Amino acid sequence: MATGQVLNPGDHIYTECLGGSYYHHGIYVGRGLVTNPNTGKTRTITNAVIHFLGLDKEGKVKKTKPQCQTCFYKPKGSGIVLTCLDCFHEGNGLYRYEYDVSLLSFTFKTSGSCTPWSCYDPNTVIKRAYDYLRDQNFGDYNFVFNNCEHFATKCKMGKARCNQALWGTGLPGALVYNVTRRLTKDILW
């Protein structure tokens, strides 16, 4: 995040992975209840993020990581998870995904960072994220057709969108927007 920016519960956030070759997305929900699997005791954390992890991209790679002492998260495979913010971004760059941007500014943004569509109010976004967390009904992770960005945009605005998976992150936003829109509208919307 740029200096001075504050995260608000309901924000769609994303972080760089593998040196910025792709981004991991999630919904910042603020307060979250976590359970210590060793003792069964629960604890409230104040910097919780709900996000969709894929087995291939995250689960396999990070399985050797020790259990987090803040949120008790330990990678164990694909699914919707609630972790602390530190587990989400792991020290890499953290950004807020902007909604309601004008089409003009969207044209000049890098793909995967913003959308001209408007989003639900924060409470609705948080509830949608928690519902998916509870029900684990977002489907199987697929790097192209059902990934972490689809999950976050689905929570934010009810539509699954993804700019980055098909085209990488270096193309001008408008081109990505137009091409992916044409290619994916029948599948995703």
Given the rule CB under 5 A, which residues bind Zn ion?
68, 70-71, 73, 83-84, 87
Q: For the beta carbon of residue 152, count every other beta carbon within 10 angstroms.
A: 29
Q: Cβ of residue 88: shortest distance to Zn ion, in angstroms?
A: 8
Other beta carbons less than 10 A from residue 118's beta carbon: 9
| 58 CB neighbour count, 10 Å cutoff | 21
Nearer to Zn ion, 30 or 116 (CB): 30
Quote the least distance from Cβ 121 to Zn ion, whole Å.
27
Q: Considering the complex, what minimum distance in angstroms separates the CB of residue 34 from Zn ion?
A: 8
Q: What is the DSSP string of 108-137?
A: HSBTTSB-SS----HHHHHHHHHHHHHH--
Q: Which is nearer to Zn ion, 84 or 155 (CB)?
A: 84
What tokens were used for 136? 């684990």
Task: Indicate the residue whose CB is closest to Zn ion.
Answer: 68
Q: Closest approach of Cβ 43 to Zn ion, in Å?
A: 11
d(CA 79, CA 53): 5
**Cβ proximity to Zn ion, 22 vs 73, nearer residue:** 73
Q: Which is nearer to Zn ion, 72 or 177 (CB)?
A: 72
Residue 56 is encoded by which pair of tokens? 């291939």
